[in-house]
Copies of this chain bind each other. A is one copy, B any other.
Amino acid sequence: MSLRIAALGLLAQRPGSGYDLLKLFENSMANVWPATQSQLYSELNKLADGGLIEVTDIGPRGRKVYRITTAGRAELHRWMTDPSADPPFRSAALLRLFLLGQIPQEQARRHLEHTAEHAQAEIARLLALRDSLGLTDSPDADDDAFFGLAALDYGLRLNAMQGEWARDVLTKLDDRRK
């Protein structure tokens, strides 16, 4: 259900073709809800069948430009204000961490070191992404830009936290070995 919303949400910001959305999914959206080309195109057809979006134009190479409808905006609003039907949260990384006691301690250490390095790399990637988007913190920025930046800031803080956590666990492991 959430991919449906992700597509709808992007079309709520501005009209575009499946290919346009695909590029957005490869860039910003992939960080919060990745989707494949295959899934996206079939979801757009379903959204159009359901009247939540409509085709406004067919360009060269069969390019279909979609626009959100009133019904689509209503559905998006409904989802935004009701988190009760969200799919359950799953994280393979957290699962691995939960089971870290099951591998030799030296390998667990290496995993934690890798986690810390990965967090650093993610921070660098997100900073580069922020620069490339050309969004500004200025007071005249629109809502989309404001919340886009806020989501990105969330990612930055998450990775900073993760790096600190991994380094602290490593320190505690050292203390234990003595």
Which one of A15-23, A124-132, A148-156 is at the B interface?
Answer: A148-156
Whether B97 lies near A142 (C-beta < 8 A) is no
Are B143 and A105 in touch, CB under 8 angstroms? yes
| Interface size counted on chain A using CB atoms at 8 A | 65
The 23 listed contacts between A and B (C-beta, < 8 Å) are: A2-B90, A6-B99, A32-B94, A33-B91, A33-B92, A33-B94, A79-B96, A80-B96, A80-B99, A80-B102, A83-B93, A89-B91, A90-B90, A97-B154, A98-B148, A98-B151, A100-B143, A100-B150, A101-B145, A101-B146, A101-B147, A139-B175, A150-B169
Closest Cβ–Cβ distance, residue A170 to chain B (whole Å)? 10
The answer to the question of A133 belonging to the interface, with a C-beta cut-off of 8 Å to chain B, is no
Write out the residue numbers on chain B whose beta carbons fall within 8 Å of the beta carbon of A88.
Answer: 30, 34
Q: Indicate if the CB atoms of A12 and B90 lie closer than 8 Å.
A: no
Given contacts A91-B89, A102-B9, A103-B80, contact A154 B165 (CB under 8 A): yes
How many identical subunits does the complex contain? 2
Name the one of B31, B76, B108 contacting A102, with C-beta atoms under 8 angstroms: B76
With contacts A81-B111, A108-B147, A157-B161 taken as known, whether A93 is within 8 angstroms of B86 at the C-beta atoms is: yes
A94-138 contact mask (Cβ, 8 Å, vs B): 1 or 0: 111111111101011001000000000000000000000000000
Assess whether A176 is in contact with B94, with CB atoms less than 8 Å apart.
Answer: no
